[in-house]
Structure 1
Amino acid sequence: MSDLFDVGAETILITGASQGLGRQFARVLTAHGAAVVLAARQTGKLKALEEEIKAQGGRAAAVAMDVTDNGSIARAIDAAEAALGPVTVLINNAGIAVEKAAVEQSQADWDAVIGANLKGAYFVATEMARRMIARRSSGNVINVASVLGFSVVKFISPYAISKAGVVQMTKALALELAANNIRVNALAPGYIDTEINHDVWATPAGEKLVRRIPQRRVGHESDLDGAILLLASNASRYMTGSTVTVDGGFLLT
């Protein structure tokens, strides 16, 4: 059973790896033996994470990638594979949110959110899939969705719409790529405490939101470790088109 969740032979590319969930995924996967490509627009934080991982005996390489630019996507994957070899697992994690009432969201807000969260994820996945198909190798794509792809809260409508799209994209790509031995699944986190939202949970609005979660707590980044190891490893070999929800029961309410 100890080999079931083994990722020691995997080279994993993580978009949006400079902070939050992407950084946590990189840490846990390298701790379990994977080689990890850290991708984001700004490489400053990536370099610090790369050095941290290497100092602990792990394998990592940082590459600049703007998921809204197809040329940047291709160049980043070229650099990734030059550094660490063929990518076998993609974690599509890059994403943004704009918090405004729907009637105040501008076209630029919509384009930024949909561009990064849905369009970007689609074109990173399809670029990666083309390469996997060309070398006739199996592959694994993990899209980071959200519980807000299934439910909604106020003031982040483009984000919720984009994540619903990610869930459907996961199914569509899983169906097309299964014949090429490429699996496509999604991880849908609930509310997770990161440095970006940490101060929210002590506010009245944050406390009200936590009360909606049946487990009565916000998630820790490490609460996703088991799910990402499942999806990245051979333990999920008969899963494709699935979305794994890790939310403390949020969607039950």
Structure 2
Amino acid sequence: MNKIMETIRGVMGVSGVILWEKQTNVFHKLLPARFSATEGDAMCTRLVQFCGHYHHGKEVKAKFNKGWLWLHNGDSFALLIIAKPDLNTTTLNLVLKSSLSTLDSSLRRPSPNPNLRQINFTVEHVGAIARAINLALGHFQGQISRFEIADVLRMAKDQLLDHYPVLKHFTVDANGGIIVIKGAEKNMDSTAVAAAAQLIAVFIHMVSFKANITGFDIEKITLGLQLPLSEIGFYNYFASARRHAIK
């Protein structure tokens, strides 16, 4: 990844590149030295939000007085390029033609590993996952409105849907909560565990610019659900999602 990003950054006028791996929610950043860590994290948050408003495969270019923003929203990744006014767009187009193809092929969702331990996933686990998501969302209700929570949750779900089709069995209600579609429990499998963990992690990342996420402790928030959630490895999935949220 770094080699591809360095190649893009080597184009005349390009000053920064951010790559978001959607499946793992990992960010790779090559930004100017003047950017602080906080500013870099804010750019990552903006990238996720931008992608929530554009369909996969969409490319957006915006020119401002002080430079360019170039966004590519792919199925498995998103790329944000920050450039100066003197950006060589011809060279950038040529570099991106090969770079985007390479990224797409390398970041496509891998086939499931048959050697991984299989989870004995039940309907009761579906209920525990849905409850865990709603408890996590409820943690922020005192800081942002239910309408905003619902709006951000829909964006997070849309971003993850291609990688976790199981999320189609969840719907977002107007009060800022999530509901399992009636009868869908029987059609859900253990991929819902990672999907739920990623959904919460992406949601937290998207609201971090307007809500205080310090002290968020998923195990305390879901205290009454620790047994069923631990059985399916939910906390491990969530810890991984949060740990790799920004890199």
Larger Rg: 2
Fold similarity call, TM over 0.5? no
Please report the TM-score for the alignment, with normalisation by the length of structure 2.
0.31
Please report the TM-score for the alignment, with normalisation by the length of structure 1.
0.31
